[in-house]
Amino acid sequence: MKAFEFVSPNTLEQALELLPGPRDRAREGTVKLFAGGQDLLSEMKEHLVEPERVVNLKSIPGLDRIEVDPGGSLTLGALAKLSAIEEHTHVRERFAAIAQAAGEVGSVQIRNQGTLGGNLCQRPRCWYYRHEQALCIKKGGAECFSYGGLNKYNAILGGGPTYIVHPSDLAPALVACGALATIRGSQQGERPVELERFFTLPSEGSILRENVLASDEILTSVRVPAMPGWKSTYVKFRERGSYDFALGAVALALRIEGGTIREARLVLGAVAPIPWRCEKAEAALVGRKIDAESAKLAGALALQGAEPLKYNGYKIPLTQGLITKALRRLA
Ligand SMILES: Cc1cc2nc3c(=O)[nH]c(=O)nc-3n(C[C@H](O)[C@H](O)[C@H](O)COP(=O)(O)OP(=O)(O)OC[C@H]3O[C@@H](n4cnc5c(N)ncnc54)[C@H](O)[C@@H]3O)c2cc1C
């Protein structure tokens, strides 16, 4: 591993001063933020990133808070541990999808070390991206090797010119719950961004990134509004029985009155480079009861437009099955 400077600031302001300015192109990528370190250190060991400076966010007090305001909304600090989110009573009772998604991440050890910010900002798991010697388009090369290669785990929606899927379990659950990200920058101060708009498709923004964060910005917290009358759930399918990333995942939030769906938010994981919101399926669910017919309709509309690659067509029926399972759970 290349030698680097490890800095532990005591405040967010100090951390921001250690980052390159938004127009400092020469220093872009030379400074990396360190939360739980699980993903960053793997990337450094594989020489995928070689920062000159690593800024330790764990030395900043208060970034790990989990707070519920009197109105019932939830604030999760970027340094909140995944296990703390999974185990928090209010999160489990009021925002079940978020607690369930946190509980589906990796293993107990990973959840005890991994943080919310690190989980949302982790880099893709595509094996071409992770291979030190494969200069794929995500690392400044010319080609997405998964497109004509081994693409079992890649995107069926929103792909091109790269076909990564977003690996986070928490991202779809938080988007389904209408979460808002808070970002602090050295120049712009604080800005709120709907979490749905935080993630970017490879065809938007920069192909080298997966979100809207500029080089001088830090994700500081995520706020989830109170959702009176809503129920939510997160359903994940993994290839093996022990810990693994999702092959398909569904986050579903519904407001049901008298057995009829009044509002719906449906977000897919592991099928696209971003958490994939299914607005047509959501609209079709409103006014219906949860039954086999509504599940079939939602499944068909949610996967409309999917363009599977050679080895990942299975993700369509798999995800449709998960939608049915999520609806049944909330029935
Ligand atoms: C074996 C294994 C299995 C896993 N399985 C799953 C799984 O099933 N589901 C799942 O969702 N995840 C899974 N993960 C991913 C794991 O949850 C993430 O690696 C972890 O959440 C990263 O969190 P961290 O706090 O360690 O982040 P770090 O490694 O410290 O950071 C990750 C990235 O985010 C950036 N970053 C961190 N915090 C911030 C911030 N506040 N603002 C801006 N950028 C930031 C860092 O610079 C870095 O690029 C797995 C990881 C491993 C190693």
Ligand 1 centroid – CA 107 distance (Å)? 13
Under 8 Å CB-to-CB from 128, ≥6 apart: which residues? 134, 136, 144, 145, 146, 149
pLDDT at residue 305, as a whole number: 97
Atom 37 of ligand 1: nearest residue by CA position: 118
Ligand 1 centroid – CA 246 distance (Å)? 15
Atom 18 of ligand 1: nearest residue by CA position: 119
Atom of ligand 1 nearest to the CA of 246: 8
- Ligand 1 site-directed mutation target among 53, 85, 119, most atoms within 8 Å of CB: 119
pLDDT at residue 23, as a whole number: 78
Atom 1 of ligand 1: nearest residue by CA position: 106
pLDDT at residue 117, as a whole number: 98
Atom 22 of ligand 1: nearest residue by CA position: 118
- Ligand 1 site-directed mutation target among 18, 28, 32, 40, most atoms within 8 Å of CB: 40
Atom of ligand 1 nearest to the CA of 39: 29
pLDDT at residue 29, as a whole number: 86
Atom 21 of ligand 1: nearest residue by CA position: 119
pLDDT at residue 24, as a whole number: 80
Atom of ligand 1 nearest to the CA of 245: 8
Task: Give the C-alpha separation, 196 to 91, whole Å.
Answer: 20
pLDDT at residue 28, as a whole number: 82
Sheet holding 189-194, edge to edge: 66-68, 74-77, 217-224, 180-185, 189-194
Atom 17 of ligand 1: nearest residue by CA position: 119
| 203-226 as b/e: b if 16+ CB within 10 A | eeeebebbbbbbbbbbbbbbbbee
β-pair partners for 33: 55
Ligand 1 centroid – CA 275 distance (Å)? 16
Helix%, strand%, coil% for the chain, nearest 5: 35, 25, 45
- Is 0.95 topped by the overall pTM? yes
Ligand 1 centroid – CA 111 distance (Å)? 10
Ligand 1 centroid – CA 299 distance (Å)? 30
Within 6 A (CB) of ligand 1 lie 32-40, 57, 78, 105-106, 110, 113-115, 117-119, 121-123, 167-169, 213, 218-219, 243, 245
Please give the chain's pLDDT, 331 residues, in tens.
889 999 999 999 999 999 998 778 778 889 999 999 999 999 999 999 999 999 999 999 999 999 999 999 999 999 999 999 999 999 999 999 999 999 999 999 999 999 999 999 999 999 999 999 999 999 999 999 999 999 999 999 999 999 999 999 999 999 999 999 999 999 889 999 999 999 999 999 789 999 999 999 999 999 999 999 999 999 999 999 889 999 999 999 999 999 999 999 999 999 999 999 999 999 999 999 999 999 999 999 999 999 999 999 999 999 999 999 999 999 9
Atom of ligand 1 nearest to the CA of 32: 47
Ligand 1 centroid – CA 148 distance (Å)? 28
25: DSSP letter: G
